[in-house]
Amino acid sequence: MTKGIELAPAKGKLGILLVGLGAVSTTTIAGVMAIRKGLAKPIGSLTQMGTVRLGKRTDGRSPTIREFVPLTELNDLVFGGWDIFEDNCYEAAKHAGVLEDKLLDLVKDELAAIKPMPAVFDRQYVKRLDGPNVKKGKNKKDLANQLIADIRNFKAKNNCDRVVMVWAGSTEVFMTEAPCHQTIEAFEKGLEASDPAIPSSMIYAYAAISEGIPYANAAPNLSGDIPAMLELAKKTGSPLTGNDMKTGQTLIKTIIAPGLKARLIGVEGWYSTNILGNRDGEVLDDPESFKTKEESKKSVLDHILQPELYPDLYNDLHHVVRINYYPPRGDNKEGWDNIDIFGWLGYKMQLKINFLCRDSILAAPIVLDVALFLDLAKRAKMSGIQEWLSFYFKSPMHAKGLYPEHDLFIQLMKLKNTLRYMRGEELITHLGREYYD
Ligand SMILES: NC(=O)c1ccc[n+]([C@@H]2O[C@H](COP(=O)([O-])OP(=O)(O)OC[C@H]3O[C@@H](n4cnc5c(N)ncnc54)[C@H](O)[C@@H]3O)[C@@H](O)[C@H]2O)c1
């Protein structure tokens, strides 16, 4: 056993600031409130229900993660956030239509008390939306300063010891790294000059990171994942994670694909199509926002299947991803995957998956876990990219020169080994010779 890392205790209140109080955020907040009241269980959340095996298989030690590392209790969480619409969290949750009225009414007062702060928003980056609750400023630096003031006020007003920020706003248009993203200095100049290469989500990321606050990007758009933010995070000690939560079809992809590869089954084609009818679907109906999502969804298979190592199995893979906006379905998405595979001697087979999923139900435990684990990372003085949180994302943040790890099972092992490492417990390699020697 090694010494482990010194972990500051989770004392006092933790503020979770959510950018965008839409389907994902309101399902998370209402869910936490319902769970706190004992009305429902935190299904899908590792921080609330997961366990971690310690020592040998014969030791019988598998504490829950929340007993093993000091996480903030749900009762000590305070929620806040920004949105371009003025609806309070109760109204926004009703509008999102994910949770039943019966449940929402049981937590109505707490939800209604959460009112969105005016947002930093520019239609240039989310073309299908417009709303009235938006800040005005002389340039993007001024807007960032207003966000910093919001964060400080929220923290003081709610008596929070610590704060984390999660971008759960709409998917912005596809962007690539620009010169103003390269250094803190260039970025700050870009803010002063309102450089168009700085979308709204980056202004939030900048505000959080310059305050030393952990920042997660739950969406696929380019936000905290640029050199300037990494440099800033190093300076201020902010842990970072993202991008694009792994829910729905991509979650299933990262469960099935490692299994096919493990058995060296070839894949000739993977056709994925979805219908969804929530506001996220409406935003993704814009080709520029869809491109951001498409890039994030498509990279997953290449990294898992490694065609460069297995050219006979995966070199000619046709991977197609479609998302269609179809209002009658609301948040209840339906996904179809047709997978053309081949086995021994090249004989062809097919696998069909029809997933009737609920996007925000799969996303809410991720938002909760990511917020709690980022706060833990901050208290462990682990700043910058948190690769151990790759488990939760479709396009995990990773250091330059490394390929991202997409295999869900390797990601889970990495996450649990990081927890063991923090506590000075032996890492588990699954070698298992000791049981036979
Ligand atoms: N639901 C999932 O399973 C899932 C999975 C992965 C990623 N995501 C991403 O998470 C994000 C949120 O998803 P959702 O289903 O809650 O969408 P949603 O449309 O219900 O909510 C997004 C909210 O963000 C607000 N918003 C947009 N720009 C903003 C800004 N600049 N500042 C403040 N608020 C802003 C919108 O007004 C809206 O209320 C989307 O980008 C989506 O692609 C969702």
In sequence order, what DSSP letters do the residues of 288-318 get, joined into one string? Answer: HHHHHHHHHHHHHHHHHH-TTT-HHHHTT-E
- Cβ of 243 less than 6 Å from ligand 1: no
Confidence of residue 295 (pLDDT cuts 50, 70, 90): confident
> Does residue 284 register a pLDDT over 80?
no
pTM of the model: 0.95
Separation of 170 CA from ligand 1 center, angstroms? 4
Confidence of residue 282 (pLDDT cuts 50, 70, 90): confident
- Cβ of 144 less than 6 Å from ligand 1: no
State the fold for domain 249-358.
Dihydrodipicolinate Reductase; domain 2 (3.30.360)
Burial letters 309-326, b for 16+ CB under 10 A, else e: eeeebbeebebebebebe
d(C-alpha 428, C-alpha 62), whole Å: 13
Three-class DSSP category at 128? coil
- Cβ of 240 less than 6 Å from ligand 1: no
Separation of 394 CA from ligand 1 center, angstroms? 16
Give pLDDT tens digits for 28-86. Answer: 999 999 999 999 999 999 999 999 999 998 999 999 999 999 999 999 999 999 999 99
d(C-alpha 242, C-alpha 167), whole Å: 9
- Cβ of 19 less than 6 Å from ligand 1: yes
Q: Which residues on adjacent β-strands are paired with residue 344?
A: none
Separation of 172 CA from ligand 1 center, angstroms? 9
State the fold for domain 13-245+361-423.
Rossmann fold (3.40.50)
Ligand 1 atom closest to the CA of 394, numbered from 1:
6
Give pLDDT tens digits for 404-418. Answer: 988 899 999 999 999
> Does residue 172 register a pLDDT over 70?
yes
Handedness of CA 156, 158, 163, 167 (dihedral sign): negative
337: Cα separation from own chain's centroid: 23
Domains in the chain: boundaries: 13-245+361-423, 249-358
Handedness of CA 10, 13, 16, 17 (dihedral sign): negative
Contact 31, 22 (CB under 8 A): no
The single-letter DSSP state of residue 64 is B
Separation of 389 CA from ligand 1 center, angstroms? 20
Q: Any idea what the Cα angle at residue 266 is, between residues 260 and 272, rounded to 5°?
A: 70
